[in-house]
Amino acid sequence: MNADCVIIQGSNMAEAHPVGFQWVVEAKTRGARVIHIDPRFTRTSAIADTYVPMRAGGDVAFLGGVVNYILSNEKDFREYVLAYTNAATIVTDGFRDTEDLDGLFSGYDNETRIYDPTSWQYAGQEPEGDRQDQEMQRATASPQQHQSHGPGVPGATQRDETLQHPNCVFQILKRHFSRYTPEMVEQSTGVSREQFLDVCRAWTDNSGRERTTALVYSVGWTQHTVGVQYIRTGAIIQLLLGNMGRPGGGILALRGHASIQGSTDVPTLFNLLPGYLPMPHHEQHETLRDWIDAFRHPGQKGFWGNAEAYAVSLLKAYWGENATAENDYGYAYLPRLTGDHGTYQQVFNMIDGKVKGYFLLGQNPAVGSAHGKAQRLGMANLDWLVVRDLYMIESATFWKDGPEVETGEIVPERCRTEVFFMPAASHVEKEGTFTQTQRLLQWREKALDPPGECRSDLWFFYHLGLRIKQRLADSTLARDRAVQDLAWDYPTHGETVEPSAEAVLREINGYDVATGRPLSGFAELKADGSTACGCWIYSGVFADGVNQANRRTPGREQSWVAPEWGWAWPLNRRILYNRASADPQGRPWSERKAYVWWDPDKGEHGEWTGYDVPDFEKTKDPAYRPEPGTSGPAGLAGDDAFIMQGDGKGWLYVPSGLIDGPLPTHYEPAESVIRNPFYGQQDNPTRMVYDRPDNPMNPSPPDANSAVFPFVFTTSRLTEHHTAGGMSRTLAYLSELQPAMFIEVSPELAAERGLTHLGWAHVVTSRAVVEGQILVTDRLRPLRIEGRPVHQVWLPYHWGGNGLVTGDSTNDLFGVTLDPNVLIQESKVGTCDVRAGRRPVGPASLAYVADYRRRAGLAVGEGSES
């Protein structure tokens, strides 16, 4: 709302976050310029001042061009960059950039397809781990574990404040992005030079002391094999322009579901524990000490220095009085990673018969995950499947009426999976918190009882836990101790014996074990077992015994930051790294953009104060400089604004922690219609690949067979529907707003393939064929890439076979290839063919797809990678 310019890319914010989008509208009404960059003109573009049509998959090329523009024209906010980023830090001599290696960085191994990051480190640092370690990191999405705290970087670094040293980050950045010229941007993304430069000017003109630009992205960026690097490029720009930590600036990451932020904070992810503590690995973290040191990084500065307290308190929350110093607080009970346990690996394991049972909670992978056929065939090969949902979703009925029944691949009478459907309570039928996309926790009261046998997830798991504990009560096996010793004594209420969500929130907040007193923040956590805390970043949500997440002070009764509405983690800070909103001396960069500042007259010796909770130690003087070698929080200087990073600086260059490189590089998507115009390396060399017969990839150039799938396709959402449709295609009022699966094409593509408006057509990839009715629209247009027109096709992904309105599932078209850092699928771009008419039905559709595979040079059962 305070932005002078809002850049929305990889996002259809108005479509998917309509309520949040009102603040963009508000900003626009106050005079902000809104720019939307997208392959397709959407409802967001309709409000934007400027719409920039761009090829799906071209974001690093585009943003890299912006970085190049900033550096070539000296538009960076120099004081900010010097003080708050690692621009001046010098990188080790052995580092080789993509400029030197035609698209690769130094340390690449062709066989394992992974990097040894030793040569990426800062000069004078100890290397972190080796190549084998990196493989494990990719398999377990280790970089995701680092996300809120930065990986290990020992404290002292070498810097050149003049930014002239050839190996300082600033110069490396310049060299790396020098080829991302406006001409290259035009050629590779289809964005005209004029429009590109217009965006650059808008972005840079609206940054600096007096003005800030906000960058918004959503899953249009994340769901790529280079998704993390997309975001990294945005971060580089926002750091160079001094927008991070400032009001109306920053990067707004819009999540894809209600409360999915909560699902990563208190995670439902295989590789994370609450508060982004990593799940231990069976080899790397044999002891408690090994594990804690892996993320505490002894010797480095910053708040992860206290991580032992966070970890031990978590273990105390899990095992209560059975977690003592003698048994390492129950560390032996924690599950261990052995490799890739990601959801897609699980699916393939299911197909291979390695998984017996599956709990499916509020998720519909038969429609909502990539490679629908694999999802369904996987679920058809289980012993048992428990589905908890509000409606009979496709993932519960795939065995009797899914697409594979139509083709004969699943025969209902012979499908071995026993499916249990447990009806769930909706969000108005239970109380608890939602954590929204700005880390804000909001408590919701229960409005009415769930009908019949519907129950909340909390009820289900609590009672399931009780029953399992009962079953194992008399066991003498060592492995069952973990369950036997679980602290599982939540108070319950009501006829249905519902566990108290408030009690759970109190435990998440943390309490003093002896007295039960709720803690007021993670600073009170101890490593000696005297505190318990379910999620250290949430500590403070129940400070003073008050449910802070339930506060609803109206906006007009408080400041514009509105800190008394709900509670944000950590410690109710609304903008992270807001130290950067003040200069190194602690004064706001400008009155107009004042946010937090140092008041030397406040408190005893001065305090940080302002509109928000300062994201900094309250009494730390800006002039403070630590003794060399100091670690932990005391190691942070008074101008180390990025307090969670090992060196306290924002990272333009990432020396460790990412699998695919310290700098973003333009790679083509795994399936593309053109050769990479920038480098010889076609696509992300380290991306996760599942090379199996049932997971073929469409061929990309230079393979001539790539012409079999000549069009680019992308998918996203409609406002009227919700993800896989379980909560929207089952309701008449929503179903009538978008009643049928459709496919958007440009008039040019329609002419080329003989497609008519509202006529039927089908889209084919090497995995599947799906059909829909055509909508011919000018909102899609062919782009000129590398001198020739490239057509893009768009499909919504909401449809499946169940509900009031049904249709084919778009996600069946995708195969599985993942970003190596976080293991997210590339489901925003692929290649395809489009043909008029309905698709074949039953076994004929298998034959149809098989024929495409043959023509694409993929024998039935062949994967392909460049």
Residues near other proteins (CB under 8 A): 14-15, 18-19, 21-22, 25, 29, 31, 41, 43-47, 50-51, 718-720, 732-740, 742, 757-758, 773, 775-779, 781, 804-805
Neighbours of 66 (CB within 10 A): 26
Cβ closest to other proteins, residue 34 vs residue 829: 34
Cβ closest to other proteins, residue 126 vs residue 778: 778
Give yes or no for a contact between 446 and 430, defined as CB atoms under 8 angstroms apart: yes
In whole angstroms, how close is the CB of 747 to other proteins at the nearest point?
Answer: 9
Q: How far apart are CA 581 and CA 175, in angstroms?
A: 29
In whole angstroms, how close is the CB of 41 to other proteins at the nearest point?
Answer: 6
In whole angstroms, how close is the CB of 209 to other proteins at the nearest point?
Answer: 25
Cβ neighbours of residue 141 under 8 Å, at least 6 residues apart? 269, 271, 342, 821, 822, 823
In whole angstroms, how close is the CB of 739 to other proteins at the nearest point?
Answer: 4
Query: For the range 590-595, what are the long-range contacts, defined as Cβ-Cβ under 8 Å and sequence gap of 24 or more?
Result: 590/209, 590/210, 592/210, 592/211, 593/2, 593/209, 593/210, 593/211, 593/212, 593/246, 593/247, 593/248, 595/246, 595/247
Residue 702: cis peptide before it, omega within 30 degrees of 0: yes
In whole angstroms, how close is the CB of 13 to other proteins at the nearest point?
Answer: 9
In whole angstroms, how close is the CB of 258 to other proteins at the nearest point?
Answer: 15
Q: Is 619 helix (H, G, I), strand (E, B) or coil?
A: coil
| Residue whose token pair is 């974001």 | 59
Would you mind telling me the total number of residues written for the chain in this entry? Answer: 866
In whole angstroms, how close is the CB of 15 to other proteins at the nearest point?
Answer: 8
Cβ closest to other proteins, residue 48 vs residue 114: 48
Instruction: Report which of 685, 594, 642 is spatially closest to residue 110, judged by C-alpha positions.
Output: 685
Cβ closest to other proteins, residue 349 vs residue 719: 719
In whole angstroms, how close is the CB of 256 to other proteins at the nearest point?
Answer: 17
In whole angstroms, how close is the CB of 53 to other proteins at the nearest point?
Answer: 8
Cβ closest to other proteins, residue 256 vs residue 521: 256
Neighbours of 693 (CB within 10 A): 11
SS (H, E, C) 287-339: CHHHHHHHHHCCCCECHHHHHHHHHHHHHHHHHHHHCCCCCHHHHHHCCCECC
In whole angstroms, how close is the CB of 558 to other proteins at the nearest point?
Answer: 21
Q: Is 772 helix (H, G, I), strand (E, B) or coil?
A: strand
In whole angstroms, how close is the CB of 37 to other proteins at the nearest point?
Answer: 12
> How many alpha carbons lie under 13 Å from residue 391 in its C-beta half-sphere?
16
Distance (Å) of CA 140 to CA 146, 151, 588 = 12, 15, 41
The letter for the amino acid at 299 is G
As a whole number of Å, the end-to-end CA separation of the chain is 44
Cβ closest to other proteins, residue 358 vs residue 799: 799
Cβ closest to other proteins, residue 203 vs residue 295: 203
Neighbours of 514 (CB within 10 A): 8
Cβ closest to other proteins, residue 347 vs residue 763: 763
In whole angstroms, how close is the CB of 759 to other proteins at the nearest point?
Answer: 10
Cβ closest to other proteins, residue 21 vs residue 399: 21
Cβ closest to other proteins, residue 448 vs residue 704: 448
SS (H, E, C) 187-242: HHHCCCHHHHHHHHHHHHHCCCCCCCEEEEECHHHHCCCCHHHHHHHHHHHHHHCC
Cβ closest to other proteins, residue 157 vs residue 735: 735
Cβ closest to other proteins, residue 5 vs residue 81: 5
In whole angstroms, how close is the CB of 423 to other proteins at the nearest point?
Answer: 23
b/e for 107-118, b at 16 or more Cβ within 10 A?
bbeeeebbbbbb
Q: How far apart are CA 715 and CA 109, in angstroms?
A: 33
Give yes or no for a contact between 97 and 679, defined as CB atoms under 8 angstroms apart: no
Cβ closest to other proteins, residue 527 vs residue 731: 731
What DSSP designation does 552 have? B
Using alpha carbons only, give the angle 704, 710, 712 rounded to the nearest 5 degrees. Answer: 130
